[in-house]
Chain A
Amino acid sequence: MQIDSIVQRCHDLAGKTVDFLQDFIAQMRTVHVDSLEQKWIKIALLIIGLLVGIITIDAFFHGVNPPSKVETIDSARLHLSKEFAESNLGVQLDDKGAIVVRMVAGRYSFFPKHISVPAETKLTFRWVSMDVLHGVHIPMTNMSTMIVPGYVAEITTSFPKPGEYPVLCNEYCGLGHNHMWSNISVIAKEDWQAPTHTIANKEANNG
């Protein structure tokens, strides 16, 4: 009985929707649109479709996405967290040999203040804020993300060209914002050496 009435209601709803759509399309057909304008609307839709197609294919098939890892962290207790304790910051190799860079943004610098990474190598940056909103951009590279307190901003990228790059805060974070910057050295892949303290850490962890 009850199921019957629900089925009946669904049936009515579907019928109503179809009626509405038919009515909508019939009414819209009565609108006068110049043939030239119709052509232009089609061209515009084609352009939009092309652009949407490119970004969608890039996102789904090439994995080209902006930093979007929704991961929370207590920004007020970073020093007590294992991952972002002071001794654990900077460039490290993880168990699989991948390079992870852990950085803390706080008024008014990025910590550690200087790091060295290899060129042409996949790097995973993990940025956190210890106070307010920050942003980080390494000009001329794809390394750009917002750093929102309460969240870990993770971004994976690589630097094609060796050199000295500035690391700039690009979000207003207070009156000293201008002074919030640090340095990164991108070193030719063959000249780069994994930081030694990492190995020590690893041994300590293993031991």
Chain B
Amino acid sequence: MDDATERKLTLSHLWVAFGAFILACFMGEYQVLERSGLISALDSPTVYFASVSTHGVLMGFVLTTFFIMGFGYYTATTSLKMPVWNLKLAWVGFWISLLGTVMAAVPLLTGKASVLYTFYLPIQAHVAFYFGAVLLVVGSWLWCGIMLVMFSQWKKSHPKQPVPLAMFATTANALLWLWTSVGVALEVLFQAIPLALGWIDTVDAGLARTLFAWTLHPIVYFWLIPAYIAFYVFVPKQAGGFLFSDEVARAAFIVLVVFGLPIGFHHLYMDPEQASGWKLLHGIGTFVVSLPTLVTGFTVIASLEIAGRLRGGKGLFGWIGTLPWTNTMVLSVILSLLMLILGGFGGIINASYAMNAMIHNTAWVPGHFHLIFAGTTVIMYFAIAYYLWPVLLRKPLFSNSMALIQLWTWFIGMGILTTPWHVLGLLGQPRRISTVVYNTLLTLAWKPYELAMIFGGLILLGSACLFIYNLVKTQLNPAPAEFNQQIEYADPIHPVESIPEYLNDFKLWNRVIAVLMAISFGVPILQFFFMDTFGSPAWGY
């Protein structure tokens, strides 16, 4: 099958994603430097908060959304062996999202939208920022629609056959994102935009936070699922073995989507506008959703062990040494899992209903999510890019050894950046300050950790530059005459011939989600319309 049009579509999405990524990396390094107060000439809250807002939006919304869309299109077309449905619509989605990105970037970069990526109503940004965010999401909804259509078309023409795991997981992610984005869409459409345009005089900050919490947790699974897809469908083959279990992988994705959605209140543990019972309910759900991650860890490590033993590894740990450590996908998954174990431990503390008070809004929190998102997740985005680039361009990767150095330095840099960040949190440093001006003895203990972070950030920036350089060089290289690398999906040890419809479809699960969402968000949202609440007028910043 000639998939030149799909390859172009995918490549365009991925370049936007990584363009946003490298820009945001430079901002990140500036931010640690400014925050440390090392160079007093840099000191400027105005620039810092504009930068931190842009960094968050680029990494959290632009890198992820474009990467997921591009990767999703190519996964769909290659795993289902059919062209992307309605290619024109896919391009419309791309341009809408890109337009939204540019529209949001202008106020962000000019300091007209320094509201950080969580919006912070009743603080108000320029209305173009909100419209840009809406367009970015609307474009991604078109992607969701295309994925769902391709999923059901394939099922119709292949009755009773299991949907390929890669597509099953991609569809799960599309469904997850449709549900996830409703919360923030309601906040922006009914609160932020009407307030910015002067149609309403006040907003309820408590309701705004509740709606954002709806989105704020599942969005991280939206980002994480591509990494898990690579774990399951690429890693075993690249390591030279087989996927340990295809059925359990499907179940893990279902549990992730179903329980990932109704648990956002662990972001509101310390908020006064929600009662403790609802928080506890969401807290319990948060622990339940660690199950698919624990299962994924098991399946991936088991798959790696099979590969290691097939390659001649003996003994309890001998198989680790025989793994192909010079394969970018295999190296990435090992480093990714290491960061997942450390980050997961921190996550349990954050999820703990009461213990969270100790670290809430301290430097610990960005330390945690950089480790788990920029570490665990983004290192798999790198791995997928290194894997797809030769396939998409029909050219060999410019340098495999450069890619290996890049992955190792990303891992080391992330360790040097996030370990002191966690410690600063335990020492009481708030997360969202641009510099330390408190005149108290406590701050003396913070200094060495801030300096270490600059160094960690510098390693990460260098690593990010190597990544982009490698991709650009690959693209600019002349195409060799004979090079036709195809995407290869891993085979499970036990091929799946038939599967219960419940593990092959989302109709039931979609209803379960609806019920769980009604239970966990129904009363907490409706309460705002029955209580005597007092809205807040718009404020500048």
Which A residues are closer than 8 A to B by beta carbons?
A: 24, 27-28, 30-34, 36-37, 40-41, 44-45, 47-48, 51-52, 55-56, 58-59, 64-76, 131-133, 135, 137, 139-140, 142, 144-154, 164, 166, 168-179, 181
Contact = CB atoms under 8 A, between A and B. Distances in A.
A36 B295 CA distance: 11
Contacts of B353: 55, 58-59, 64-66
A145 B270 contact: yes
Contacts of B514: none
Contacts of A177: 45, 432-434
B87 interface: no
Contact of B271 (A148, A166, A168): A148
Contact of B123 (A52, A56, A59, A173): A173
Contacts of B354: 55, 58-59, 64-66
Given A148-B272, A172-B120, A173-B123, 6 more contacts: A65-B354, A131-B539, A139-B442, A144-B357, A170-B432, A178-B437
Nearest to B443: A166
B45 A144 contact: no
Given A64-B354, A68-B274, A150 B204 contact: yes
Nearest 10 Cβ contacts at the A-B interface: A139-B428, A27-B500, A170-B430, A68-B276, A170-B361, A153-B272, A74-B534, A44-B294, A65-B276, A172-B432
Interface in B328-363: 348, 352-354, 356-358, 360-362
A52 B534 contact: no
Interface of B: 45-46, 49, 114, 116, 120-123, 204-206, 209, 244-245, 247-248, 251, 268-276, 279-280, 283-284, 287-288, 290-291, 294-295, 298-299, 302, 348, 352-354, 356-358, 360-362, 427-438, 440, 442, 494, 498-503, 527, 531-537, 539-541
B272 A67 contact: yes
12 contacts: A40-B294, A40-B295, A56-B280, A66-B356, A67-B271, A73-B534, A135-B360, A137-B430, A146-B272, A149-B536, A173-B123, A181-B438
Contact of B299 (A37, A74, A140): A37
B279 A68 contact: yes
Nearest to A140: B428
Contact of A142 (B298, B357, B430, B537): B357
A137 B361 contact: yes
B245 A33 contact: yes
A37 B299 CA distance: 8
A70 B527 contact: yes
Contacts of A152: 272
Nearest to B431: A170
B275 A137 contact: no
Contacts of A147: 272
A201 B248 CA distance: 67
B272 A151 contact: yes
A90 B433 CA distance: 26
Contacts of B273: 70, 148, 150-151
Contact of B272 (A27, A47, A56, A69): A69
A133 B123 CA distance: 8
Contacts of A164: 440
A46 to B, nearest CB: 11
Contact of A51 (B352, B428, B438, B499): B352
A157 to B, nearest CB: 9
B366 to A, nearest CB: 12
A166 to B, nearest CB: 4
Nearest to A27: B500
A170 B45 CA distance: 15
B284 A56 contact: yes
Contact of B276 (A40, A48, A59, A173): A59
Contact of B283 (A34, A55, A75, A142): A55
A148 B46 contact: no
A150 B275 CA distance: 15
Given A40-B295, A66-B276, A68-B274, A169 B46 contact: no
Contacts of B428: 137, 139-140, 168
A192 B299 CA distance: 60
A140 B441 CA distance: 13
Contacts of A36: 302
A59, A74, A144, A164, most chain B CB atoms within 10 A? A144
A66 B123 contact: no
A34 B432 CA distance: 47
Nearest to A65: B276
Nearest to B534: A74
A22 to B, nearest CB: 13
A72 B531 contact: yes
A48 B287 contact: yes
A145 to B, nearest CB: 5
B401 to A, nearest CB: 36
B116, B290, B539, most chain A CB atoms within 10 A? B539
A33 B251 CA distance: 11
Contact of A44 (B45, B251, B291): B291
Contact of A132 (B122, B288, B362, B436): B122
B539 A132 contact: yes
A73 B435 CA distance: 32
Contacts of A74: 534
Contact of B438 (A32, A73, A135, A166): A166
A56 to B, nearest CB: 7
B423 to A, nearest CB: 13
Contacts of A51: 287, 348, 352
A145 B274 CA distance: 13
Nearest to A163: B441
Contacts of B501: 27
Contacts of A28: 500, 502
Contact of A48 (B271, B290, B502, B503): B290
A139 B248 contact: no
B251, B302, B500, B540, most chain A CB atoms within 10 A? B500
Nearest to A157: B357
Contact of B288 (A48, A168, A173, A179): A48
Given A32-B247, A150-B536, A177-B433, A166 B442 contact: yes
B534 A144 contact: no
A152 B67 CA distance: 42
A24 B433 contact: no
B440 A166 contact: yes
A149 B205 contact: yes
